[in-house]
Amino acid sequence: MTTEPKSTFLREIQARGFMHQCTDLAALDDLATSKVVTAYIGFDATADSLHVGSLVQIMLLRRLQQAGHRPIVLMGGGTTKIGDPSGKEESRKLLSETEIGQNIAGIQRIFARFLNFGSGPTDAVMANNADWLDGLQYIPFLRDYGRHFSVNRMLSFDSVKLRLEREQPLSFLEFNYMILQAYDFLELARRHDCVLQMGGSDQWGNIVNGVELGRRVDDRGLFGLTSPLITTSSGAKMGKTAAGAVWLNAERLSPYDYWQYFRNTEDADVGRFLRLFTDLPIDEIARLEARRGAEINEAKIVLANETTKLAHGADAAGAAAETARRTFVEGGTGGDLPMLEVPRGELERGVPLFELLRRTGLVASNGEARRLIKGGGGRLNDAPIADEARAVGLGDINDDGIIKLSAGKKRHAVVRPV
């Protein structure tokens, strides 16, 4: 489609950078202009939270609902038992039913902040593919649906081809994943009149399989749409830091650390991330991203505030911003900094600084902490420490009754003696 889309949904996601591929953009645009479109994205429950790497897909569902359409969040209660090979170099660890159930409960809480659920025509729906996959009978399923899939073509998909080219094992279990994902689309079309599956660009082959299965089995006109896989301008994978994944629930990552992740966005990414991850109007974003030099930091604070507000609420965003102000502007220790409680007896004996840096979550390992200190990035109560074996003790407690640790100039935590 060379002209601007007519439908609000497609016009908005195109303007904000969500669009990568679509099976029939013109026909989908006509449909989205004439009726409420039901669309879904699937999320496997491999952990009890999603991380920032899933945020594009979550916001894509949000844009769909904001444009007057109905989103379906499909929990992979069934497919999680297999594992999607897309983008993976090895098989996933198989989880128990109990673990999958606990993970789904954690993920569902995240979506309640981004979407409105209910029974109205555009209210979001939470579905679980275990409802239909768990009861499938193998022989009837192969007979009715397996015959529509070409192994030759399945072998050509990147998710399979790359694993085979690298001589990395791909189990028959994982090979079946794309068939089950295609069947999910058919089931959602039958149960909820779902006509559109969306996902990241690595899901294109799986999505096209579902579109074609719907046509062959039920003569349905279905659509697929993908968004680009997001990396930072320096090429780093979205959602990963030196300290680990940037999780979307507060139990896994504090709202303050989430705020800091977006506050530390690279200059070249500010405008793009404002369009993707906030609800700010496009013209306001254009003004913010036009700032240069030190003024771009103001745009980064707006980005951090808006993204944290969506994921954790306005109060948490405000508290994180205030903690950052006190920490960086006043040189204090805001109350929302990550805190580690350490017994006074342990501090009396002395705890290596590198160990405390790891235990507070500022770094991922003792080795990384040692390298940080050697490079001059480890700080104790704002003073740089060059000795990686430096022991932290009761004498390091400051006037606020705590010990402040820093990894570089932007990441901080406190140790509270108990």
Most confident of 151-160, 212-221, 244-253, 337-346: 212-221
pLDDT band per the 50, 70, 90 thresholds, residue 213: very high
Whether this prediction's pTM lies above 0.75 is answered by yes
* pLDDT score recorded for residue 152: 77
* pLDDT score recorded for residue 326: 76
The string of DSSP letters for 347-383 reads HHH-EEHHHHHHHTTSSSSHHHHHHHHHTT-EEETTE
pLDDT band per the 50, 70, 90 thresholds, residue 354: confident
State the Cα–Cα distance between residues 8 and 19, nearest whole angstrom: 14
Residue 406 has pLDDT above 80, yes or no: yes
The 8-class DSSP code of residue 264 comes to: T
For 263-337, list the strands marked E by DSSP: none
State the Cα–Cα distance between residues 280 and 304, nearest whole angstrom: 12
State the Cα–Cα distance between residues 144 and 141, nearest whole angstrom: 5
For residues 228 and 21, the answer to whether their CB atoms sit within 8 Å is no
Token reading at 219: 């003569």
Q: Lowest mean pLDDT: which of 80-89, 123-132, 233-242?
A: 80-89
Residue located via tokens 């279990």: 173
Sheet holding 223-227, edge to edge: 21-22, 223-227, 196-200, 38-43, 70-75, 125-128
* pLDDT score recorded for residue 284: 97
Residue 242 has pLDDT above 90, yes or no: no
Q: Lowest mean pLDDT: which of 25-34, 180-189, 250-259, 281-290?
A: 250-259
* pLDDT score recorded for residue 197: 98
* pLDDT score recorded for residue 283: 96
Q: Lowest mean pLDDT: which of 3-7, 236-240, 241-245, 270-274?
A: 241-245
State the Cα–Cα distance between residues 128 and 122, nearest whole angstrom: 19
* pLDDT score recorded for residue 334: 52
- Across the range 396-409, mean pLDDT stands at 82
- Across the range 258-280, mean pLDDT stands at 95
Residue 318 has pLDDT above 60, yes or no: yes
What are the φ and ψ backbone dihedral angles of 185, each rounded to 5 degrees? -60, -45
Question: Which position has the higher pLDDT, 99 or 411?
Answer: 99
List pLDDT tens digits, range 42-101: 999 999 999 999 999 999 999 999 999 999 999 999 988 876 555 544 556 778 899 999
* pLDDT score recorded for residue 207: 94
- Across the range 116-135, mean pLDDT stands at 96
pLDDT over 90 percentage in the chain: 53
For residues 109 and 156, the answer to whether their CB atoms sit within 8 Å is no
Q: Lowest mean pLDDT: which of 113-127, 164-178, 328-342, 355-369?
A: 328-342
CA atoms within 13 A on the CB side of 138: 2
List pLDDT tens digits, range 358-394: 888 788 788 888 888 888 888 888 888 888 778 898 8
Nearest to 81 by CA among 69, 70, 96: 96
Nearest to 306 by CA among 277, 281, 283: 277
Token reading at 145: 């649906």
List pLDDT tens digits, range 156-193: 777 677 777 777 777 777 778 889 999 999 999 999 99
* pLDDT score recorded for residue 38: 98
State the Cα–Cα distance between residues 57 and 279, nearest whole angstrom: 15
The 8-class DSSP code of residue 125 comes to: E
R_g over Cα of the chain:
24
Question: Which position has the higher pLDDT, 234 or 15?
Answer: 15
* pLDDT score recorded for residue 85: 55
What are the φ and ψ backbone dihedral angles of 412, each rounded to 5 degrees? -135, 160
**H or E stretch covering 70:** strand 70-75
**H or E stretch covering 190:** helix 177-192
* pLDDT score recorded for residue 388: 76
Residue 9 has pLDDT above 60, yes or no: yes
Nearest to 197 by CA among 39, 14, 7: 39
Q: Counting beta carbons within 10 angstroms of the beta carbon of residue 270, is it exposed (0 to 12), middle (13 to 18) or buried (19 or more)? A: buried
For all residues of the chain together, what is the average pLDDT? 88
Which residues, in sequence order, are bridge partners of residue 415?
A: 340, 403
Nearest to 17 by CA among 238, 194, 208, 181: 238
For residues 17 and 275, the answer to whether their CB atoms sit within 8 Å is yes
pLDDT band per the 50, 70, 90 thresholds, residue 336: low
